[in-house]
Amino acid sequence: MSTDAFLQRFGAPGARQPDPVAAAQGAMRNALPKRFYENAAVLEKDGLFHVALDGRTARTPARNALAVTSRPVAEALAAEWQAQAERIDPAAMPVTRLVNSALDGVADQAAAVRAEIVRYAGSDALCYRAGEPDNLVERQRAVWDPIIAATEAALGARFVLAEGIVFAEQPAPVLEAVTRRVAELPAPLALAGAHSVMTLTGSAILTLALADGRLDEEQAWAAAHLDEDYQIAIWGQDEEAAERRTTRRREFAAAVLLLMQG
């Protein structure tokens, strides 16, 4: 092996080796497709609102038309596409990713998605309470109890609460009532939004409270992160955790948009 080949493969003696994580991230950035269009806009056609790139309808990964029944959702989609710079970065397009999932997946699996939301209601995060400290216990009661009570009134059924992590089985009337309400969520957009809200919050109760207008976006986010915010107030939050939360918050906003406007 020549000296040049050796150095290219292994580096000079004592030289700092490339960071494999940084190299992988760089490769991912390089793999992003270049922006191939000038303008992204909403085009109304055949009863749908299409995302048009230079006048042509964009496509999902499964080659479905990126076209929806909701103008607000279509406008949010077009805004994401218009905001892309030299390269198209899906990580910066939470509404597009969720709509793609709705059109390519949820549309054909609506029954399974509805069943998953009902399954979450059987072990809802809001039904599991801390036993201590007292100020956290009281905070959970003050914030979560009214949400649960209003949801129970809407459903005509009562949830079972538990302390700690011991599983508490929900009564059949609760799950039956949730099943009926979830069946009313329009597919695929609102249903996809509901499923995303549920997975981001761990709560079907919060999802239904949003869908029925009992909570707004900020109230639901704050309720879902009550425990986390309590810990942050005591211990603080590191930079990586803060970045992850910011990403989840953007995804939550996209999910709420589809739930409420889809």
- Per-domain boundaries in the chain: 107-261
- Work out the pLDDT band at 30, boundaries 50, 70, 90: low
Asked if 67 contacts 61 with a C-beta cutoff of 8 angstroms, the reply is no
Asked if 35 contacts 88 with a C-beta cutoff of 8 angstroms, the reply is yes
Output the average pLDDT for the chain.
90
The mean pLDDT of 67-84, rounded to a whole number, is 98
Q: Is the pLDDT of residue 27 over 80?
A: no
The mean pLDDT of 78-100, rounded to a whole number, is 97
The C-alpha atoms of residue 162 and residue 120 are separated, in whole angstroms, by: 15
- Work out the pLDDT band at 11, boundaries 50, 70, 90: very low
Q: Is the pLDDT of residue 131 over 80?
A: yes
Read off the tokens for 257: 């948009």
DSSP states of 125-137 = GGGEE----HHHH
The mean pLDDT of 223-234, rounded to a whole number, is 96
Domain covering 107-261 assigned CATH 1.10.645.10 in the classification? no
**Cβ burial 109-134 (10 Å sphere, 16+ → b, else e):** ebeebbeebbebbebbbbbbbbeeee
0.85 surpassed by pTM: yes
Give residue 26's Cα distance to chain centre.
26
Centre a 10 Å sphere on the Cβ of residue 142 and count the other Cβ atoms it contains: 10
The mean pLDDT of 126-151, rounded to a whole number, is 97
Centre a 10 Å sphere on the Cβ of residue 186 and count the other Cβ atoms it contains: 15
DSSP states of 135-180 = HHHHHHHHHHHHHHHHHHHHHT--PPPEETT---PPPHHHHHHHHH
pLDDT of residue 215: 98
pLDDT of residue 194: 98
pLDDT of residue 165: 81
pLDDT in tens, 145-188: 999 999 999 999 999 999 988 888 999 999 999 999 999 999 99
The mean pLDDT of 38-44, rounded to a whole number, is 97
Which residues make Cβ contacts (< 8 Å) with residue 249, sequence separation at least 6? Answer: 221
Q: What percent of the chain has pLDDT over 70?
A: 89
